[in-house]
Amino acid sequence: MKDWTIGFIGFGNMAQAMAEGLILKGAVKADRICACARDWDKMCKNGEKYGIKALKTPLETARQSDVVIVAVKPYLVEEVLTPIREALRDKILISVAVNFPFEMYEKFLLPGTHHLSTLPNTPVAVGEGIILCEREHSLTEEEFAGIKELFSAIALVEVVDTKQLGAGGTLSGCGPAFAAMFIEALSDGAVLHGLPRDLSYKLASQMVVGTGKLQLATGRHPGAMKDGVCSPGGTTIKGVAALERKGFRSAVIDAIDAIEGR
């Protein structure tokens, strides 16, 4: 696994986040990563930025890689991969495209291609991401174990059923936007009462990180964690009641439902 060369077809937000995290965590050396994109000048600049090799085409990328990560927009996946199907036959193909499970790849890849559909989120850039892996895949056991080990360097890796990719991917993939809105709103509240902006972002972000880590470490029910901070007649319960009056929890539930209802 340590000797794998990783090739990204498409080097936008998600591919860069993954490359950055893998390099930062020492899971892959930058000189073992290559990538291609549509705009060659932009690709060269990004190649320099991360110290990775810029390549001109998806075919070159596939040929020079052991693990090919397809990171173009979902509507481009079939169009970009179909012409290079032969070159992908003896590679490990990893998809990060939303709504692109195993069965969809089976329709256009050559029979016997080793492929796995995953859903990462952007905090992989700092090694604190989530990567969902579809249970159904055509990797060998050894390849699958190697990919899970590789991705564990930058994310919590969970293997899920195909039907769980939707809600799971929405929670982990769209969640960073909701969490960022929460951080921004908390900070606005604190700034309203005189806290400097930079400090308020720092405190809000660390509070979210710490609360998440505490829940993961203890497995405590989130409701019990909330109860633990709310003393009777105290200050926190006043804030909780205000959030309930504004429909905070139902607004968050509706956000997931709005996406999953599609």
Ligand X SMILES: NC(=O)c1ccc[n+]([C@@H]2O[C@H](COP(=O)([O-])OP(=O)(O)OC[C@H]3O[C@@H](n4cnc5c(N)ncnc54)[C@H](OP(=O)(O)O)[C@@H]3O)[C@@H](O)[C@H]2O)c1
Instruction: Report whether 23 contacts 45 (CB < 8 A).
Output: no
Shortest Å distance, C-beta 86 to ligand X: 17
- Whole-angstrom distance, CA of residue 105 vs CA of residue 147: 18
Site for ligand X in 158-177 (CB under 6 A): 173
Q: Which is nearer to ligand X, 9 or 22 (CB)?
A: 9
Q: What is the DSSP string of 83-117?
A: GGHHHHTTSEEEE--TT--HHHHHTTSPTT-EEEE
- Whole-angstrom distance, CA of residue 54 vs CA of residue 2: 21
From the list 19-27, 92-100, 203-211, 231-239, the region that binds ligand X by CB under 6 A is 92-100
Helices (H), the chain: 13-24, 40-50, 58-63, 77-81, 85-88, 102-106, 141-152, 165-169, 175-192, 197-218, 222-229, 235-245, 248-261
Shortest Å distance, C-beta 82 to ligand X: 11
The binder of ligand X chosen from 14, 28, 109, 155 (CB under 6 A): 14
Cα→Cα distances 66→6, 46, 111, 176, 191, Å: 6, 21, 18, 30, 50
Task: Tell which residue, 240, 218, 213, 245, has the closest CA to residue 229.
Answer: 240
Site for ligand X in 44-63 (CB under 6 A): 58
- Whole-angstrom distance, CA of residue 72 vs CA of residue 233: 53
Q: Which residue is nearest to ligand X (CB)?
A: 12
Interface with ligand X includes 13 (CB under 6 A)? yes
Site size with ligand X, rule: CB under 6 A: 27
The binder of ligand X chosen from 24, 60, 63, 74 (CB under 6 A): 74
The binder of ligand X chosen from 2, 29, 31, 39 (CB under 6 A): 39
Shortest Å distance, C-beta 158 to ligand X: 14
Interface with ligand X includes 73 (CB under 6 A)? yes
Shortest Å distance, C-beta 36 to ligand X: 5
Interface with ligand X includes 88 (CB under 6 A)? no
The binder of ligand X chosen from 59, 98, 180, 208 (CB under 6 A): 98
Interface with ligand X includes 123 (CB under 6 A)? no
Shortest Å distance, C-beta 223 to ligand X: 29
Which two structure tokens, joined as six digits, stand for 239? 């804030």
Q: How do strand 155-160 and strand 92-95 relate by DSSP bridges?
A: unpaired
- Where does this chain bind ligand X (CB under 6 A)? 9-15, 36-39, 42, 58, 71-74, 76, 80, 96-98, 119-122, 173
